[in-house]
Amino acid sequence: MVFMKVKQQSVCFHIRNLLILIGIACCVFEGIAEHNWNKQIKDFKPMVVNIETSSEIVFETEAKGTSFATGFIIDAERGIIATNRHVTGSSPSYVKINFYDGSFTEARVLYYNPTHDFGFYQIYPEEVPFALQTVQLGSWKALALGDELLLIGNNEKEEYSIKFGTVANLNVDKGDRHSSYIHTTFDRTGGSSGSPVWNTKGEVVAIHARGTDTSSFELPIEYLIDALKQIQNNSKIQHGEIGVDLELISIGEAIKHFKLPEASRLEIGPSEASTPKVMQIASIIPRTTGNKLLRASDIIYRINGQLIRDDLYSFDFILNEQVDNTISLEVYRNGENIVVDVPVENLEQRKISRFARFSGSIFHDITPKLRRLLYFEANGVYLPQADAGSSFSMLGQRERNGNSKVVIQEINGHQIADLDSFIQACQGIPNGAHTYVVIRDFNLFDSSPTPKSLTINLKFGPLQVFEWHQNLLDWEQMEMQSLSETNQ
C-alpha cells in the first residue's frame, strides 16, 4: 500500500510538472505570436529576394567562392535591392537574384558603404516577370524595448525562413567602426545576412547584419535611407571620415576610470535604450585626419556644440553633412576638457576604384580598412590574392581561403608608393625576368620589411589594369596608352 501511494504521488508529481511546462511553453508561444503576422507574411514575401554571389577576384580580406544571403526591394521603380556590405563586397562578382516565384535575374553592385554594413544591388525591373513591390520603410527610433519584430530570410539556405523576435536593446556598438545596432532575440544563422526586419505596423525598421548563437544585431534602416535618398536625387553619396573607432562605455566607468567630471552624469541623463553611456575613442586609423589630433581613450562629449551622449547614428550623420569642412569636437582627455578641430574627408573617394592583374596576382591600393586592420602607416601596394604556382604566390604565408596579407614596398630598387608606381615598375619587366621585391607579410607575427626573390612568369597573365565605371556598374580594362598618360 505504501509503495502504491508513493507511486501515485510520483505520477501526480510528474503530471503536474508536465502541465507546468506546457503552460510555460504556451506562454512563450503566445508571447512570440501575440501579433498575428499571417497576412503580413504573405504580403511581404514578394519583396524579399535570395542572393547568390560568386567571386574569383577578391580585394582586401574578402574570400573567393560562392555565398548565399538575403535582400529586399527598397526601390521597385529603379530596381534597387538592399542587402549587407559584406554581401555585396567590393570585389568583382557575379550576382544572381532569386525571387519568390522561382524566377531569377542578374544584378550589379550599385553602392556599398565603406564602414556601415549595407549596400545596394541594381537590377532591370523589366526583366522580372512580375511587378516589383517596394517595402514600406519605417524608423527604428519609434521602437521600444520588448517590441515584436519579424525577419524573413534565407536562413541556412532555406528560402523564406520566418523568424520572430523582440527588441532587447536599441543601441549597441557591434559595428566595425561606429555603427549603432539594435540588439534582438532572433534565432538565425548563415544566409540571413541582408534580411529585412519588420515592426508590427508592416514597416521595415532595420536590416539584419550579424549575430551569435544567442543574439542577433540589426542595422537601423535610417543608414540605408540616407544613402538611398542621395541616389534617388542623383547626388553623389558622401561619407564623412575622421578615422576614429568608437565604443560605448557606461557613464560610471567614464567617471571612475577616465576622469569624466561627476557633473556630467546629470547632463547626460538617463538613456531610453539601456544604461547611460558615452562615446570613447577605441583606436584611430593611420593616415586619417584625426590621427595626429585625437587619442585613444578620448571621450567625445560634444560635436559642433551638440551634446552627443551615446548617439552613434547622429555622430555619423553630422560627419556626412560636414565633408570637406572642419568639425569641432569637445573631448575629455584624462579629465581635461579640450576642444579639437578636425577636418572631415570623404571616405567614398578612398574606395578601390582600380586594380592591377599581373603574372597571376591581384594588386590594389592600401585602403583605410586595411590600414585599420593592419595598423599600417607606410607606403606600398596590397597583394590580396595570387594564383597557386604563379610568380608572387610564394611571397607570403597564405590563409586557409588562399588569401594573402602582403604589402609590396619595393620592386627591383623602385620604391612603391601606391598602385600607380607599382604599374610603372612592372611595365618594363619582361617574361622570365629574375626580380626581387621587398614585402611586409601581415600574416606573420614579425611583419618587418623582408626581401624576396622571384621569377616573372607571364604565362599567368601580362600586366592588366581595370577601372570601375559607375555609369556601367562594371570594371573595364584600361588601355596601356591611357595608363602611360595617367602616370605622366
In this prediction, residue 29 has a pLDDT band, given cuts at 50, 70 and 90, of very low
Dihedral Cα 338, 339, 341, 345, nearest 10 deg: 80
Enter the DSSP assignment of 212: -
pLDDT in tens, 279-332: 999 999 999 999 999 999 999 999 999 999 999 999 999 999 999 999 999 999
Q: CATH: 1.10.357.10, 1.10.760.10, 3.40.605.10, 2.30.42.10. Which one for 240-347?
A: 2.30.42.10
For residue 346, is pLDDT > 90?
yes
Instruction: State the pLDDT at residue 404.
Output: 87
Residue 485's pLDDT is what? 54
Count the helices and strands in the chain (H runs, E runs). Answer: 10, 29
For the chain, give every domain's residue range.
Answer: 40-234, 240-347, 352-487
d(CA 377, CA 343) in angstroms, rounded, equals: 19
DSSP secondary structure string for all residues of 65-91: EEEEEEEEEEETTTTEEEE-HHHH-SS
Q: State the pTM of this model.
A: 0.90
The overall average pLDDT reported for the chain is 90
3-state class (DSSP) for residue 360:
coil
Query: Which listed CATH number (3.40.50.300, 2.30.42.10, 3.90.950.10, 3.30.365.10) goes with 352-487?
Result: 2.30.42.10
pLDDT band at 481 (very low <50, low <70, confident <90, very high): low
Retrieve residue 425's grid coordinates: 615598375
* Confidence label for 18 from pLDDT (cuts 50, 70 and 90): very low
Q: Can you give the pLDDT at residue 468?
A: 97
Residue 188 confidence (pLDDT):
74
Q: Are 369 and 60 in contact (CB under 8 A)?
A: yes
What is the per-residue pLDDT across 101-139, written as a single tens digit (0 to 9) for each? 999 999 999 999 999 999 999 999 999 999 999 999 999
Q: pLDDT higher for 190 or 64?
A: 64
pLDDT at 32: 52
The residue type found at 163 is K
Please state, in angstroms and rounded to a whole number, the distance separating the CA atoms of residues 451 and 435. Answer: 11
pLDDT of residue 214 exceeding 90: no
The reported pLDDT for the residue numbered 406 is 95
Q: Taking residues 448-468, what's their average pLDDT?
A: 96
Tell the CATH topology of 40-234.
Thrombin, subunit H (2.40.10)
**pLDDT of res. 114:** 96
| Same-fold call for 240-347 versus 352-487 | yes
Rounded distance, CA 448 to CA 71, Å? 42
Question: What is the model's pLDDT at position 16?
Answer: 45
pLDDT 10s digits, 135-187: 999 999 999 999 999 999 988 777 888 999 999 999 999 877 899 999 999 98
Can you give the pLDDT at residue 139? 97
Helix 419-427 to helix 480-487 angle, to the nearest 10 degrees? 120
**pLDDT confidence tier of residue 459, bands split at 50, 70 and 90:** very high
- The set of residues, in sequence order, having a beta carbon less than 8 Å from that of 400 and lying 6+ positions away, is none
Report whether pLDDT(17) > 60. Answer: no
Q: Please list, in sequence order, all residues whose beta carbon lies within 8 angstroms of the beta carbon of residue 275, skipping any fewer than 6 positions away.
A: 250, 251
